[in-house]
Structure 1
Amino acid sequence: MAQPVQIRIVGAGMMVAAAVALSGCNDFVIGDRPPSTAPSEPATSASAPVSTSATPQALPMLPERPAPGEGWVAFTDEQRLVSFELPEDWTVEPIEDPGDGFEEGGLHFEVLNADGDAKAELHTRITPRRDECEQDAASPYTVLASEPVDIPSTAEAEGSIEPRFVLRLIQGFRFFSSYGVTDMVGGAENSACVLLNTVQGPEHIGLYSFGDRIALAALDPSQVGSGTESFPTIADAQKRFDQADFDQIRRMITSLQVAS
């Protein structure tokens, strides 16, 4: 009975030997099946996505300005977009809430004298006014002072002029005064509904103003407030603006520099 068992073992060994010989592999094991692999496809290189966002353009900046004369200091905003000189005992305060009439991202500052009285405001990115003025609604105005200022203007509308510092009166039941920079004439035949103290600047500045108010109109008694400066006659206004403090105001405003 032992002989048949011996034959089966030998036969099995011969089958294994034959399988090894046919495979040509010394480590072949019965029951192994090489994994079937799909033909590999050539790798395709994925190109990096092309950025379509424009590179942010740097804003122009003012250079360092020379130190002003004795008793004066220079103010420049953090972005170096605007700069001007002022008396050393005057202060510049940011206006946190300038109210309506301005586009987003503008600069807003108030200049106070040593007594804390507001003497000028500086604004950029002012929303342009769209006032219609009928000739019979216009009020006479008078220019008391006018001088050129070296600040940028892109104004091309009818009535535009090279930027100037102006002091003007408009006549209502009294003579109302205002001063500031402008690049527009007041109106035809020295009559206007509104006198604008604004200059059309480059795109990053927009419409800007440096003066005691952005716009001046003739008021009636119900519209007059505590901050309104008015005079009974032109001569009275001239006396007021011949005083030394207005020379300081004029020098401060005409020292304005705007990055372009």
Structure 2
Amino acid sequence: MKAGNVLGRGAAAALCLALVSGCGLLPTNDAGASPSAGASPAVAAGGDASPGPGAAKGPVRQATIDGWKVYTDPDRVLSFEIPADWVVQRQVKPSQPSDNGLHLDIRDSSGKLAAELHTRLKLPKDTCSAGGVTELRVLLSEPAKVPAVASADTVDPVFVYRTLLGYKYFGSYGLTDKPAGNGFQACTVENTVNGPKSVGTYSFGTAVRNGTPAPGEKTGLLDKYGLIAEAERFLTTKHFKTVQQVIMTLQISGDAPA
């Protein structure tokens, strides 16, 4: 396989005080959206148009998709575009292990979790036994213009949708530079990219690792299908196409501090 008007600061602060609670919505650079009703609470706001001390001084980008806005992290290390009625939130408790990384939830207009972004990931070594190998389907693989540090074990970055067969078909999508198994069978698939020092190993998608959970085991963000045709139909939906666009707009500063 060769194959990613917010309220003015004074008004936002007044609103936070009025609610007597922490504001979890991370501001974006473009005006436009308020948080969706279904969005879960998060820790203090972290995205901002102003860089922190010692941060990279790159320009704040503009949205390239009409009606969308741009999220940029406080240090301007990374940015991506989202629809005006979507929100970005800092995770209260990071769902993935990292070395002081950035952990974000991206939610659609209904509050549904559409993707997660993680940087500086520190994942345990993946193991695979002969009995753990199962059918792998690569339903979508498109080149992604995202920063990556190549090695002997990586491929050029791609945006992929892959499924593994367990008691159901379990699917996940995101950016990766990691090949899976022999292309037809695998134990797990990994949706991560080896990035520059500013982000380290990063992930932008659903499951960081896609395996085959046992019946009764939590499946997290994995999609579940009884038939592979159901997964193929999902790829034609507006929701999926929008999420793919969001992920493919990711930009990472090349000279950001490590």
Which category of TM-score, normalised to the shorter sequence, fits these structures?
Answer: 0.7 to 0.9
Q: CA deviation at 1:241?
A: 2.0
Distance 1:227 1:107, change over 3 A: closer
When residues 84 and 59 of structure 1 are mapped into structure 2, their CA distance, relative to the original with a 3 A threshold, is same
Residue 76 (str. 1) matches residue 69 (str. 2): no
1:200-220 deviation line (CA, Å, top 9, x unaligned)? 111221110000121110122
Whole-Å Cα distance in 2 between the matches of residues 132 and 122 of structure 1? 24
Partner of 1:245 in structure 2? 239
* Residues 208-237 of structure 1, C-alpha deviations (whole Å, 9 max, x = no match): 000012111012212144754200111111
Q: What secondary structure is seen at the aligned counterpart in 2 of 1:110?
A: strand
Alignment of 1:115 onto 2:110: yes
CA distance in structure 2 between the partners assigned to 1:256 and 1:225 by the alignment: 26
**Cα RMSD for the two superposed structures:** 1.8
SS at match of 2:81: strand
CA-to-aligned-CA distance 1:114-173 (integer Å, 9 cap, x gap): 111100010001003311212332121111111111111113032x10111001111101
C-alpha distance 217-147 of structure 1, shift in aligned 2 (>3 A): same
TM-score (norm 1): 0.72
Query: For the Cα contact (< 8 Å) 2:172–2:222, is it kept in 1?
Result: no
Letter in 2 for 1:183: D
SS of aligned partner of 1:153: coil
Please point out which of 153, 173, 176 is paired with 1:179. Answer: 173
Q: Does 1:150 pair with 2:145?
A: yes
Aligned counterpart for 1:86 among listed residues 77, 82, 85: 82
Identical residues among aligned pairs (%): 34
**Would you say 1:98 and 2:94 are equivalent positions?**
yes
Residue equivalent to 1:22: none
The 1:188–1:226 alpha-carbon spacing in structure 2 relative to 1, beyond 3 Å, is closer
Equivalenced residue count is: 201
Which range moves more in the overlay, 225-234 or 241-250? 225-234
Q: Spell out the pairing of 1:129-148 with structure 2 (5 A cutoff).
A: 129-148=124-143
Find out whether 1:211 has 2:205 as its counterpart.
yes
| Unmatched runs of 5 consecutive residues or more in structure 1 | 1-57
| Structure 2: gaps of 5 or more residues | 1-53
* Change beyond 3 A, Cα 1:247–1:61: farther
Quick one: which of 121, 129, 145 aligns to 1:126? Answer: 121
Contact (CA 8 Å) 1:167, 1:178: kept in 2 or not?
Answer: yes
The verdict on how the C-alpha distance between 1:174 and 1:121 changes in structure 2, with shifts beyond 3 A counting, is same
- How far, CA to CA, are the matches of 1:153 and 1:227 in structure 2? 24
> CA deviation digits over 1:41-73, x for unaligned, max 9?
xxxxxxxxxxxxxxxxx6655433233222211
CA contact (8 A) 1:62 1:82 kept: no
